[in-house]
Amino acid sequence: MDYEKIGGLIRSLRLEQGLTQLQLAVRLGISDKAVSKWERGMGCPDVSLLPHLSQTLGVELESLLTGELDINDEAGGTMKHLQFYVCPHCGNLICSWAEAGVTCCGKKLAPTVPQKAEGSDRLAVEQIENDYFVTSDHPMSKDHYIRFLALLTGETLVLRRLYPEWDLQVRLPRVGHGRLLWFCTQHGLFQQLV
């Protein structure tokens, strides 16, 4: 471990939070001399302090231990490359414009890659007035259902949460052409053009 890099990161994060060394020390239940020692690269926080320190400074534990923040380039352009992260344990859905370090239920999540819907996996889409009317004969049982349905265009995301034991009949505002995405609890993320 590079104590100087870790100390430099602790210092910059502490200043970003608007904390003095003493204020950070009080939050952690240690002396301000210990914080000064870390920031000068003369030592490293005790392992027992690391979770509380990373939470207090608002940084991932991994970044704290490496002494570096992995900052993404600013995501420009459109939303067409939006990434979906779905927790396999609780079903939580997180969206991101760029790759992100996403965790849920104590595990790091990878972006879910949509597969092209073909044959019986495709959803029926009709245009009714200014909406898309989306239907499917998916079983929608408690163990096998579509959790969410989304319409993604270059600048808009329309997202609908779906529930088991409800028929899949959804109206989405027609805000242009794009991709229809949905997540099946047993088969993953699908997409089709609309």
Within a domain: 26: yes
Question: Domain with 136 in it: what CATH number?
Answer: 2.60.40.730
Residues 151 and 177 placed together within one structural domain of the fold: yes
Spatial contact of 151 and 185, defined as CB atoms under 8 Å apart:
no
Q: Note whether 44 and 97 are same-domain residues.
A: no
Query: What gap in Å lies between CA 182 and CA 187, rounded to an integer?
Result: 10
Q: What pLDDT is stored for residue 63 in this prediction?
A: 86
**Are both 51 and 111 inside the same structural domain?**
no
Which CATH number do you get for residue 31? Answer: 1.10.260.40
- Closest by CA to 191, choosing from 174, 177, 175, 179, is 179
Mean predicted confidence (pLDDT) in 147-155:
92
- Is position 98 within any domain? yes
Q: Residue 172: phi, psi to the nearest 5?
A: -120, 140
Domain end point (choices 66, 89, 107): 66
How many structural domains compose the chain? 2
Whether 74 maps to a domain, the answer reads no
Half-sphere exposure of 189 (CA within 13 A, CB side): 17
Cβ neighbours of residue 173 under 8 Å, at least 6 residues apart? 130, 131, 132, 151, 158
Q: Are residues 48 and 140 in the same domain?
A: no
Claim to verify: residue 136 and residue 102 sit in the same structural domain: yes
- Please tell me whether residues 91 and 185 are part of one structural domain: yes
Separation between Cα atoms, residue 12 and residue 120, nearest integer Å = 54
Distance CA(69)–CA(62), nearest Å, equals 9
Instruction: Tell me the per-residue pLDDT of 65-112, one tens digit each, with 9 for 90 and over.
Output: 888 887 655 555 567 778 999 998 898 999 988 778 888 998 889 999
